[in-house]
Chain A
């Protein structure tokens, strides 16, 4: 017994160091898994508040760019509305409460207050949280493409698992043909991602457009992603496909958070199916 006490006393600093080091490394390993570290993440009052204040100053530099982007999107949406009016015959219009019966997704706006793109596991922080009706696993996108998936939430802030994160795997498809693939990131260039699991029958060409596949409950179908930059074929299979994003991941301002209204129902259904 005396020996044990002596041992502890002799190495007390080393043991204390070891204990704290194990805690730190376990947080790191937790952070490398799909779910952001539950303890040390920036979705809280303190770091969220400070990032928000810093962003208030930083966003002035990008205002012109963000305005242009929003104007373009407005024009795009107005064009779609204009098309609708042309094709529908006024005598045949049926009034349907589309909001109640057909709306599948709800969009909330938010601002990115902290943006990471230089690490291997990147996260963004946005200025909306539980108070604004967000939950985890919601899609985040802007008019130019997908950005990430919400993970940790506090009352007023949320961390977003960026598509620039080794754990992010997003179902995408080609806009010209119904072939699906998975979008991943190898940690190199922050505007170039990799497409895997695409069948050779897809017969892609440089410049082909990719959109979200709509196979998950997170992103609706048809959000733009990027274009094929280059690809290699090996043994009659795609060995690597590089995708150039439409978005510039280093400068992201206003975003939309997409919540699937039927998500709970779909997930319950899937769960009950797998349980049987």
Chain B
């Protein structure tokens, strides 16, 4: 259990460093920066008590915001996907209750993981760009950026998930 906490802290710091040093500088086609750090929301252990995940995801987003001068957009988006994570998972797996002790997200069928990651990544990018543009007349820019960014985020996240599970 203790080892698990330490592992999560290292993962938390590692994802932030990866995001702000490399991924925020990718600028594919001039503006696409994949948000790989949402991997934390996906991998963070599922527990009955949801206070830690809400708090840590808020903190994660806020630190990313601090590095990219974006106010609280990343914090709001990450917190939101952390909140919808459990209901969404239940919906995708068609289960009313999840056995938290033995549950492991990486052991689920690939298509279910893919749809879970895709929905989270899309919602996350959509909230970020909506808060950034904050105008209904910019809806086409918001959707365009959301679509491209979330595609790259999904590809990168799935790829990282495969890498992480293969190691163990």
Are the CB atoms of B67 and A37 closer together than 8 Å? Answer: no
**Among listed A39-47, A169-177, A207-215, interface-contacting one:** A39-47
Q: Mark A118-156, 1 if CB is under 8 A from B, else 0.
A: 111101010000000000000000000000000000000
Instruction: Determine which of B31, B54, B71, B79 lies in contact with A118 in the assembled complex, contact meaning CB atoms within 8 Å.
Output: B31
Are the CB atoms of A40 and B54 closer together than 8 Å? Answer: no
State the interface size on chain A (CB cutoff 8 A).
42
Are the CB atoms of B71 and A54 closer together than 8 Å? Answer: no
Are the CB atoms of B132 and A13 closer together than 8 Å? Answer: no
Are the CB atoms of B67 and A24 closer together than 8 Å? Answer: no
- In whole angstroms, how far apart are the Cα atoms of A50 and B62 in the complex? 16
Are the CB atoms of B25 and A28 closer together than 8 Å? Answer: no
Residues of B within 8 A of A248 (CB): none
Instruction: Determine which of B21, B33, B51, B65 lies in contact with A50 in the assembled complex, contact meaning CB atoms within 8 Å.
Output: B21
Residues of B within 8 A of A250 (CB): 30
Are the CB atoms of B68 and A24 closer together than 8 Å? Answer: no
Instruction: Determine which of B51, B65, B75, B132 lies in contact with A16 in the assembled complex, contact meaning CB atoms within 8 Å.
Output: B51
Q: Mark B77-108, 1 if CB is under 8 A from A, else 0.
A: 00110010000000000000000000000000
Are the CB atoms of B131 and A20 closer together than 8 Å? Answer: no
Residues of B within 8 A of A116 (CB): 68-69
State the interface size on chain B (CB cutoff 8 A).
35
Residues of A within 8 A of B141 (CB): 187
- In whole angstroms, how far apart are the Cα atoms of A24 and B70 in the complex? 11
Asked if B20 is at the interface of the complex by the 8 Å CB criterion, the answer is yes
Are the CB atoms of B66 and A41 closer together than 8 Å? Answer: yes
Are the CB atoms of B72 and A42 closer together than 8 Å? Answer: no
Known A-B contacts A27-B71, A50-B20; A120 and B132 likewise in contact (beta carbons under 8 Å): yes
Known A-B contacts A37-B72, A40-B72; A24 and B61 likewise in contact (beta carbons under 8 Å): yes
Are the CB atoms of A28 and B21 closer together than 8 Å? Answer: no
User: Please, which residue of chain A has its CB at the minimum distance from the CB of B66?
Assistant: A40
Known A-B contacts A17-B54, A26-B72, A32-B71; A118 and B30 likewise in contact (beta carbons under 8 Å): yes
Q: Secondary structure of the B side of the interface?
A: helix
Residues of B within 8 A of A44 (CB): 66
Q: Secondary structure of the A side of the interface?
A: helix
Instruction: Determine which of B20, B21, B54, B69 lies in contact with A41 in the assembled complex, contact meaning CB atoms within 8 Å.
Output: B69
Residues of A within 8 A of B55 (CB): 16, 20
Asked if A58 is at the interface of the complex by the 8 Å CB criterion, the answer is yes
Known A-B contacts A16-B54, A40-B62; A118 and B72 likewise in contact (beta carbons under 8 Å): no
Q: List 29 A-B contacts (CB under 8 A).
A: A12-B51, A13-B50, A14-B83, A17-B83, A21-B76, A21-B79, A24-B72, A28-B72, A28-B132, A28-B134, A31-B70, A31-B73, A32-B71, A36-B69, A37-B65, A37-B72, A40-B62, A40-B69, A40-B72, A42-B66, A46-B66, A47-B66, A50-B17, A54-B20, A116-B68, A119-B132, A121-B71, A187-B138, A187-B141
6 closest Cβ pairs, A-B complex: A31-B71, A27-B72, A24-B72, A24-B76, A118-B31, A123-B69
Instruction: Please give the residue numbers on chain A whose beta carbons come within 8 Å of chain B beta carbons, in ascending order.
Output: 12-14, 16-17, 20-21, 23-32, 36-37, 40-42, 44, 46-47, 50-51, 53-54, 58, 114, 116, 118-121, 123, 125, 159, 187, 190, 250
